[in-house]
Chains A and B, each alone.
Chain A
């Protein structure tokens, strides 16, 4: 054993690769493979079973120039993202600021506000369908106590997307927890110094708390943007037969893509749609990353 096969450094590198091998294999086989396949098939009339002929850019051309529902679904998705992401981010920050106070029974409140986050999926949607029932639902009943006659929520095309956004606001508990954790990491000395200088609570919040938690805000915005573009289940469950709700007001991008893929079996077309969505989300994420240095503050960062 005088001559070693690898130097220690090589050995370390090798071990590293071996450790991540399961993930690498998984990525290549289950993610990269299908990814490339879907890119190729997006230029074909692939329908899984009987045909896969090259059609060039036809799918993309039809989507962009001759498919009204494509634009409807894109509009619906942008509408949802544009309102839900800022509102849920803002809601989560405010909520966590409130839950970061020192008052008795705080654990109880934290639990209450976090609870919706652990409920998930179809059960929550069914619950909200009952809450938003125009005639007898809880939301409109409460509104009627203060003299407001509530809208038809999921039956009125103008109110379907706001309904979903309202539902999303109810479950901000998940990101609230992230903000709360990072707020508790902000050094007390900063607040003490500011207090001595006579800064009000509000000024402390704006000038100390917010800058200190920007990394988490950034993370939350990026992930919820990506998640927002992928909205599917909510519309599939809450629009009656999963057909996109009244006047297609809940026909989101992914729902339309799913219908193209599994109801009409235009798989190639659906794959082209998925690539357009990928490009959109990609551009937005790059933009986010480029903008980040201007407003995201990392502690201990060297300028």
Chain B
């Protein structure tokens, strides 16, 4: 009898283990989830968990919850490295969150793959597309239908040290407007001690990568409007040669030494005048504010390659999407509308000093009383720069084309291939990829 009791116990354990496994099955009920008070619960995932961003997004969620009595949004912070793989798994399991913040550059791709919900049904009823910068809106479209609503964005601007300009005999109110002026001013700002540079005027690959300059050179993406790759062209070849000429001028040792200081943030050579000009996002200003509050600096549009070629800059951003299979999509839509409306967007913009997608909110933020005069100045520049800013959403027919071009660009910048040859090879590799994918 003793033994059979033990056997029974073991069976019990096995049974419990098995029933535990059954708990992983997802319920496929289509009923909306409600909380105790009969409000519909909208699950909202974002990767904003930092001590700066988290309180801001949670305040927005709280305000929304208070503004009406039908919907309760629950915000969940999911770390950057996990959020989208987790989302994909949740969609596959049929139990996704209702609103997820995702990368704007992949929205069309996720639309095509049925991961993000087609929002045209909602947009037919209330069209909010006019709220946003057209370039951002365009990036959310797949076959002319939107799959995500733009939330925030960014751009690239030129920061320059006004005191250093004065010292070098340059007019601190006249930042460089062309690549030629950039070179000229940089040469004046350089300070050499023997063979080593103690002060660098400018280096194009600090803060941004070479593709930003290729975009700036001709105002064109790697793909034309018909979706044909346009990687090997005169301007791009010229751009990479131009970057290499900077590389030759300063040499690897100087560049590496400055680069590691930039990476360490607090020690950024732009803060102590060792770097005269620096390209970065407007949000970089918050670092100046924190680490070098006395720095006398200015902000300007990116210079153009030649006069008239355009001050094109590059941006990205994030959208709010409703994953396919969300059970509360109507309520999710209400929340997204609130999230991207003027009030929430202005709050986000001011508190995070971040570019937002909503045009009216952007302009209001630049005048906001909570911002200092300097804050407003930089923010206004960020807003003005949006008209020059292009996005580079991944083409749905060749989403991983960058994996083919990047090594070619690396080879060119390392001097292992000529710009002409490398871009030609990149172009034909991407053409092959597209052909393969269209089969």
Cβ-based interface call for A102 (8 A): no
A243, B7: Cβ atoms under 8 Å? no
CB-defined contacts of A265 to chain B, threshold 8 Å: 88, 109, 113, 115, 399
Interface residues of B in 59-113 (CB under 8 A from A): 84-85, 88, 91-92, 109, 112-113
Contact between A49 and B92 (Cβ–Cβ < 8 Å)? yes
Q: Are A262 and B84 in contact (CB under 8 A)?
A: yes
Q: Does the CB pair B114–A15 fall under 8 Å?
A: no
Q: Is the CB of B400 within 8 A of A21?
A: no
* Contacting pair B10 A135 (CB below 8 A): no
Contact with B along A118-137 (1 / 0, CB 8 A): 00000000000000011111
Name the contact of A49 in the complex, choosing from B14, B115, B257, B406 (C-beta under 8 A).
B115
Binary per-residue interface labels of chain B (411-426) against chain A in the complex, 1 for a CB within 8 Å, 0 otherwise: 1001010000000000
The answer to whether A243 and B403 touch across the interface, beta carbons within 8 angstroms, is: yes
A21 touches B257 (CB 8 A): no
- B113 near A135 with CB under 8 A, answer no
Q: Cα distance A157–B257 when bound, in Å?
A: 19
B21: CB under 8 A from chain A? yes
User: Is B31 part of the binding interface, using a Cβ–Cβ cutoff of 8 Å?
Assistant: no
In the assembled complex, B193 has its CB within 8 A of some CB on chain A: no
Contacting pair A1 B92 (CB below 8 A) = no
Residues of chain A from 207 to 246 with CB closer than 8 A to chain B in the complex = 243-244, 246
Contact of B406 with A248 in the complex, beta carbons under 8 Å: yes
> Using Cβ atoms and an 8 Å threshold, which residues of chain B touch A133?
256, 260, 263
Known interface pairs A48-B88, A48-B91, A265-B109; A247-B260 also in contact (CB < 8 Å): no
Min CB gap B126→A, angstroms: 27
Interface segment among A61-69, A81-89, A274-282, A294-302: the answer is A61-69
Q: Are A49 and B7 in contact (CB under 8 A)?
A: no
CB distance from B340 to the nearest CB of A (A): 25
B400 x A263 contact (CB < 8 A): yes
Interface string of A1-41 (1 = CB under 8 A from B): 10000000001001100110110010001000000000000
With both beta carbons as reference points, the residue of chain A lying nearest to B402 in the complex is identified as A243
Cβ contact within 8 Å between A243 and B406: yes
Return the contact of B260 from the options A29, A137, A243, A259 (Cβ within 8 A).
A137
Tell me the chain B residues, 383-439 only, with Cβ under 8 Å from chain A: 399-400, 402-404, 406-407, 410-411, 414, 416, 429, 432, 436
A68 and B429 form a contact (CB under 8 A):
yes
Closest residue of chain B to A29, judged by CB?
B21
Are B403 and A135 touching (Cβ within 8 A)?
no
Interface string of B1-38 (1 = CB under 8 A from A): 10100110011011001100100000000000000000
CB <8 Å contact, B91 and A259 = no
**Is A50 interfacial (CB-CB < 8 Å)?**
yes
Interface residue? B259 (CB, 8 A): yes
Is B429 in contact with A263, judged by CB distance below 8 angstroms? no
- B324 touches A (CB below 8 Å): yes
B253 adjacent to A135 (CB under 8 Å): yes
Given A49-B113, A49-B115, A133-B260, is A247 in contact with B88 using a C-beta cutoff of 8 Å? no
- Contact in complex: B18, A49 (CB < 8 Å): no
Question: Which residues of B lie under 8 Å from residue A243 when comparing CB positions?
Answer: 402-403, 406
Chain A residue nearest in CB terms to B416: A247
| Of A19, A48, A50, A248, the contact of B407 (CB 8 Å cutoff) | A248
Contact of B414 with A246 in the complex, beta carbons under 8 Å: yes
Q: Does A163 count as interface, using CB distance less than 8 angstroms? A: no
Distance A265 CA – B110 CA, assembled complex (angstroms): 9
Any B CB within 8 A of the CB of A168: no
Residue on A nearest B252 in the bound complex, by CB = A152
Please report which residues of chain A, range 247-296, place their CB below 8 angstroms from some CB of chain B when the two chains form the complex: 247-248, 251, 259-260, 262-265
User: Is A264 touching B414 in the complex (CB atoms < 8 A)?
Assistant: no
Which residues of B lie under 8 Å from residue A248 when comparing CB positions? 403, 406-407, 410
A8, closest chain B residue (CB): B3
Interface positions of B from 150 to 164, Cβ below 8 Å from A: none
Please measure, in the bound complex, the distance between the C-alpha atom of A7 and the C-alpha atom of B221, giving whole angstroms: 77
A47 at the interface (CB under 8 A from B): yes
A157 touches B410 (CB 8 A): yes
A246-B410 contact in complex given A49-B115, A264-B400, A265-B109, C-beta closer than 8 Å = yes
What B residues does A69 contact at CB under 8 A? 403-404
Answer whether A22 and B410 are a contact pair too, CB < 8 Å, given A49-B92, A262-B84: no
- With beta carbons under 8 angstroms apart, the residue of A135, A260, A262 that contacts B88 is A262
User: What A residues does B410 contact at CB under 8 A?
Assistant: 157, 246-248
Pair A49/B10 contact, Cβ less than 8 Å: no
CA distance A244 to B407 in the complex (A): 9
Contact B252 A247, beta carbon cutoff 8 Å: no
Q: Nearest Cβ in chain A — how far from B10, in angstroms?
A: 4
The residue in B257, B407, B411, B416 that gathers the most chain A C-beta atoms within 10 A of its C-beta is B407
Task: Establish whether residues A19 and B10, one from each chain, have CB atoms under 8 Å apart when the complex forms.
Answer: yes
B345 to chain A, nearest CB (A): 28
Q: Given A69-B404, A259-B403, verify A18-B11 contact (CB < 8 Å).
A: yes
Tell me the minimal C-beta distance from A139 to chain B in angstroms: 13
Whether the pair B92, A48 counts as a contact (CB closer than 8 A) is yes
Q: Is the CB of B114 within 8 A of A50?
A: yes
Nearest neighbor of B257 in chain A, beta-carbon distance: A135
Q: Indicate which residue in A29, A134, A260 contacts B400 across the interface (CB closer than 8 Å).
A: A260
Residue of A nearest to B1 (CB): A1
- Contact A157:B414 (CB < 8 A) given known A25-B18, A135-B256, A152-B256: yes
Q: How far is the CA of A1 from the CA of B2 in the complex (A)?
A: 13
A247 to B21, CA, bound (A): 45
CB pair B259–A135 under 8 Å, yes or no, is yes
Cβ contacts under 8 Å, A244 to chain B:
403, 406-407
B397 to chain A, nearest CB (A): 11
14 residue pairs bridging A and B, Cβ less than 8 Å apart: A14-B7, A48-B115, A49-B113, A50-B114, A66-B436, A137-B260, A152-B252, A157-B410, A243-B402, A244-B407, A247-B411, A263-B399, A264-B399, A265-B113
Residues of A at the B interface (CB closer than 8 Å) are 1, 11, 14-15, 18-19, 21-22, 25, 29, 47-50, 62, 66, 68-69, 133-137, 152, 155-157, 243-244, 246-248, 251, 259-260, 262-265
Residues of B within 8 A of A (CB): 1, 3, 6-7, 10-11, 13-14, 17-18, 21, 84-85, 88, 91-92, 109, 112-115, 252-253, 256-261, 263, 324, 399-400, 402-404, 406-407, 410-411, 414, 416, 429, 432, 436
* 5 interchain residue pairs of minimum CB distance: A50-B114, A135-B257, A135-B256, A248-B407, A18-B10
Extra inter-chain contacts (9) besides given A248-B410, A265-B88, CB under 8 Å: A25-B21, A47-B113, A66-B432, A68-B429, A155-B256, A243-B403, A251-B403, A259-B400, A262-B88
